[in-house]
Copies of this chain bind each other. A is one copy, B any other.
Amino acid sequence: MNRVINNPDLVVEDMLRGILAAHPELRAAADNPRVVSHVNAGQKGRVGIVTGGGSGHEPAFIGYVGEHLVDAVAVGEIFSSPTAKSFADAFKAADGGAGVACLYGNYAGDNMNVKMAMRMAERDGIRVVPVVANDDAASAPPEEIAKRRGVAGEIVMWKVAGACAAQGASLDEVVSAARHAIESTRSIGIGLSACTIPAVGKANFTIKDGDMEVGIGHHGEPGIEVQRTVPAKDMAKRMLDTLLPDLPFARGDKVALLVSGLGATPLMEQYILYGEVADCLREAGIEIGFSRVGNLFTSLEMMGVTVTLTRLDERLSRALHHPCRSIGITVGDAA
C-alpha cells in the first residue's frame, strides 16, 4: 500500500482537518468532531437534512453537505457506521425547529445507530423521520427490496430533499419527496479491483485481474456474478439488463442518470461507459433528463463503475435542477 496518508489509524481525522481547512462553509460540531454541518444548517423553520455513513466513499457523505442539500453529516470510520451519538448530534446541528429528515443507506450498523439516535432526539424534542435507501438492485431480489443496500442513488434522494426543504416544504413533504426519489431509483456497480483500508493494510476481498464482479457492493460485498471483463458496451448492457426491468423503467420514461467511478477508474472511462449507457437508453426509448458523471460515490481506490437511474416526473425533475452547491454536486447558473 503506497498512499498519501499519515497515521493509517487517523485517516478520517486527517481528512476532516483538510476538508474543514478547504471549505470555510463547513464546520465541525463544537463537542463532536465527527459531525460536520453547513454554516446555514439549523435555519429557523426550515426542515433539516441529515445523512451519515462510513468514510472512504468520498465525496459521499460529507461532500453532499451544502447549500440546498444535506445540512449535517455523521462521519464514521472507514467503511463503518458513525456512532448513534454522532447521528444524534447531526440531528441537533440540522434542526431549526421544523424537524429533521435522516436520509441514509441500508446497512446494519447505520440502521441500529440511527434508531438509537432517534430515541436520543426524541428526548431532546427533535422530530426525526428516517428514509432508508435501498437502491442497489444487485444486493437482493426484487421481492426482498428491504434487504437491499443504499448506494449512489442516495445522492438523488439528498438532492431532491434538499431542494424541497430549501423551498419551505414541511417535514412530511420533504420525507415524502425523499421516499419518492429513492423508490424511483435503481443502482448497480461493477468492480474491477479491490481496495485497501489503510489501517488494515491489505484488501479484505479480491478480484482477479481480468475479471469483473457484477453487482459488487461498496465495501466489497459479493455481487451477482464474477466473469471475465467485457467491453464497456457490454458492461452497460449487463447493468441495464438488471436495472431496467427492476423498477421497471419503460419506453417513454425520462430518467436521471448518474455514472460514478469507484475511486481509481479514470474519468475518461466513466465517460466511455456513459456513452454506452446513453446509447442503450436511446434504443430502449428512454430519455435522459438529468445527468452527472464523475467520482460521485466511491470506495477508496477501488476500480469500477456504478450506474444509477431515477425515473423522473415533473416534481423530481424540478428538484434535481434546483440550484445547489457542495463538494460533490453543484447545480446552477454560472453567470
Q: CB-CB < 8 A to A71: which residues of B?
A: none
A241 to chain B, nearest CB (A): 17
A interface: dominant SS = mixed
A227 adjacent to chain B (CB < 8 Å): no
A68 in contact (CB, < 8 A): yes
Of A11-19, A93-101, A107-115, the one touching chain B: A11-19
Does A187 make an interface contact (CB < 8 A)? no
What are the residues of chain B within 8 A of A232 when measuring CB–CB? 4-6, 14
Inside 8 A of A298's CB, which chain B residues have their CB? 266-267
In the complex, residue of chain B having the shortest beta-carbon distance to the beta carbon of A299: B266
Known interface pairs A192-B3, A271-B15, A303-B301. Does A278 touch B334 (Cβ–Cβ under 8 Å)? no
Q: Min CB distance, A74 to chain B, in Å?
A: 17
List B contacts of A273 (CB < 8 A): 4, 18
Residues facing B in A287-335 (CB within 8 A) are 288, 291, 293-295, 298, 300-301, 303-305, 323-325, 327, 330-335
Stoichiometry, as copies per complex, reads 2
Task: Looking at the assembled complex, report how far the CB atom of A15 sits from the nearest CB atom of chain B, in whole angstroms.
Answer: 5
Q: Known contacts being A14-B232, A271-B58, A278-B21, is A265 close to B192, with CB within 8 Å?
A: no
What sequence of 0s and 1s flags, for each residue 1-37 of chain A, a beta carbon within 8 Å of any chain B beta carbon? 0111111000100110111011000000000000000
Could you say which residues of chain B place their CB within 8 Å of the CB of A271? 15, 18-19, 22, 58
Given contacts A275-B14, A275-B18, contact A267 B6 (CB under 8 A): no
Stretch touching chain B among A127-135, A170-178, A206-214: A206-214
Alpha-carbon distance A160/B292, docked complex (angstroms) = 26
**Contact present for A6 and B233 (CB under 8 Å):** yes
Across the interface, do B58 and A268 meet the contact criterion of CB distance under 8 Å?
yes
A122 part of interface (Cβ distance < 8 Å)? no
Chain B residues with CB under 8 A of A235? 4
Which residue of chain B has the shortest Cβ distance to A58 in the bound complex? B267
Q: A11-B268, A18-B270 are in contact. List 5 more A-B contacts (CB 8 A).
A: A22-B291, A58-B267, A67-B334, A324-B334, A325-B333
User: What are 21 A-B contacts with C-beta separation under 8 Å?
Assistant: A2-B193, A2-B211, A4-B232, A4-B270, A4-B304, A5-B232, A6-B276, A7-B231, A17-B275, A18-B276, A21-B288, A56-B266, A58-B267, A63-B267, A67-B334, A68-B335, A263-B266, A266-B300, A266-B301, A331-B334, A332-B334
Name A's B-contacting residues (CB within 8 A).
2-7, 11, 14-15, 17-19, 21-22, 55-56, 58-59, 63, 66-68, 166, 190, 192-193, 207, 209-212, 229, 231-233, 235, 263-276, 278, 288, 291, 293-295, 298, 300-301, 303-305, 323-325, 327, 330-335
